[in-house]
Amino acid sequence: MENLKISSSSSGERLNQYFSLLSSNALWKETLEELFLVSRDDFIFDNLVVYQTDSETGSLEVLFAKSTGRGKSAEADASWGESLANRVIHENRMINEEPSEKDQHDRIAHPYLLGLPINTEEKLPGVLIFIRFGGPAFSKEDCRYAQWTANLTTSIVRKKLLDEFMSKIENIQSMTKLQADFISTISHELRSPLGFIKGYTTTLLRTDTNWDRETQKDFLEIIERETNNLTDLIEDLLDSSRLQSGQMKFDFHLVRIDSLIRDEVNRVHLTNPEQKIELDFDPEIPAIEGDPRKLAQVFDNLLSNARKYAPDALLVIKLRKEKKYLTIDFADVGPGIPTIYQPRIFTRFFRVPEQSMKAHGTGLGLFICKQIIENHEGTINVSSSQSGTNFKIALPYAMVTKKITAEESV
């Protein structure tokens, strides 16, 4: 706003400064504030109110109000101009209204009002009201200045409406893009297991070939695996929408995080014995409050991400007992996540473009992890470079909002 400050009163320079207000990038409120500060040098008023017609209710709303000293606060003074504002809207012209009694002893009771239409759009008219308590009356010269100020106000309000409109369009654009990404990811993720299931079922059903029992078993195992993938995908979709709408139910118990991670790692080893995982746990890990199934889901996604995006690289899982938190690090020495993508990594459906061809996924996993951890009043963050990726989780020992007993411990 510094560049908007008006210091000189020479009319040429003032004109220049008025125009610089219009090209200002400042917020509309600051620009209006500055405009009325400048215009006070040209003509005096006690209060002013800018009204705008609410597009939904059609009623007049106070967009901006300013009190310059005499009289009450700007908020309270907004009511002074209301009935004149309605007349200005109705007649769509400048109205100069003087009090019927001109008792100079009670200035506040005798406001001189000047109302001017600000026609931002036909459907959204506004009004600018200037108030002088106890006079003097607005002269012809004042009216000219007021009209000039109203024109500038119109431009500023129009810019505000345009900015709001642009941000709505940007929101719609990003929603549309998200929807398009969603449809393309989901159709790809649905098509690929369905393709396997269909292909192997058709093969098994062929009457011209006799498959030996071993081969039949292999095919059926593939069908089973792909059916499980489909079930997981649908579960992830349901979870993510439940988490987003706050409808996911959590079942809190006292949980041993060390045992939970060990169980998940053992489970992973059964299906992927080649994944290199090292555990580095503090000896004394206290139980914490948590939902064991949801937390297992978090660890499962981090284990599967390391397998998919840092294949053959060692994954070290570190569990530490800090003062108020348990911290868990999932650190791999894989290729890492490029810095530009790191801020988006926990967003629904986001996948690093270069990696998305290498492994299956929907980009829901980390979004779900973050929501689950935050429902435990914890945090999850990523740090990554070309020498590896670290997901750091911090979980509080006891959540303030929940009280559970040791008997509930699992």
| Binding residues vs Mg ion (CB under 5 A) | 301, 305, 365
Kindly state whether residue 355 participates in binding ligand ATP, applying the rule CB under 6 A.
yes
Among residues 268, 277, 288, 306, the one that binds ligand ATP under rule CB under 6 A? 306
Q: How far is the CB of 365 from Mg ion (least distance, A)?
A: 3
The site partner of 84 among ligand ATP, Mg ion, none (C-beta below 5 to 8 Å per kind) is none
Q: How many residues bind ligand ATP (CB under 6 A)?
A: 23
Among residues 53, 153, 305, 371, the one that binds ligand ATP under rule CB under 6 A? 305
Contact of 226 with 196, CB cutoff 8 Å: yes
Judged by beta carbon, residue 60 or residue 310, the one nearer ligand ATP is: 310
Alpha-carbon span 389 to 383, nearest angstrom: 6
Please list every residue from 222 through 251 that binds ligand ATP, using CB under 6 A: 236
Judged by beta carbon, residue 89 or residue 382, the one nearer ligand ATP is: 382
Options 55-63, 86-94, 112-120, 301-309: segment touching ligand ATP (CB under 6 A): 301-309
Alpha-carbon span 197 to 369, nearest angstrom: 29
Give me Rg for the CA atoms of the chain.
34
Judged by beta carbon, residue 67 or residue 240, the one nearer Mg ion is: 240
Judged by beta carbon, residue 185 or residue 305, the one nearer Mg ion is: 305
Tell me the residue number closest to ligand ATP, measured at CB: 365
Judged by beta carbon, residue 135 or residue 311, the one nearer ligand ATP is: 311
Kindly state whether residue 193 participates in binding ligand ATP, applying the rule CB under 6 A.
no
The site partner of 352 among Mg ion, ligand ATP, none (C-beta below 5 to 8 Å per kind) is ligand ATP
Alpha-carbon span 102 to 229, nearest angstrom: 84
Options 10-18, 149-157, 254-262, 349-357: segment touching ligand ATP (CB under 6 A): 349-357
Looking at residue 386, its amino acid is Q
Among residues 131, 197, 295, 352, the one that binds ligand ATP under rule CB under 6 A? 352
Compute the residue count for the chain: 410
Q: How far is the CB of 177 from ligand ATP (least distance, A)?
A: 17
Please list every residue from 59 through 98 that binds ligand ATP, using CB under 6 A: none
Kindly state whether residue 129 participates in binding ligand ATP, applying the rule CB under 6 A.
no
Among residues 351, 372, 373, 380, the one that binds ligand ATP under rule CB under 6 A? 351
Kindly state whether residue 365 participates in binding ligand ATP, applying the rule CB under 6 A.
yes
Among residues 310, 328, 380, 395, the one that binds ligand ATP under rule CB under 6 A? 310
Q: Which residues bind ligand ATP (CB under 6 A)?
A: 236, 301, 305-306, 309-310, 332, 334, 337, 345, 350-352, 355-356, 361-367, 389
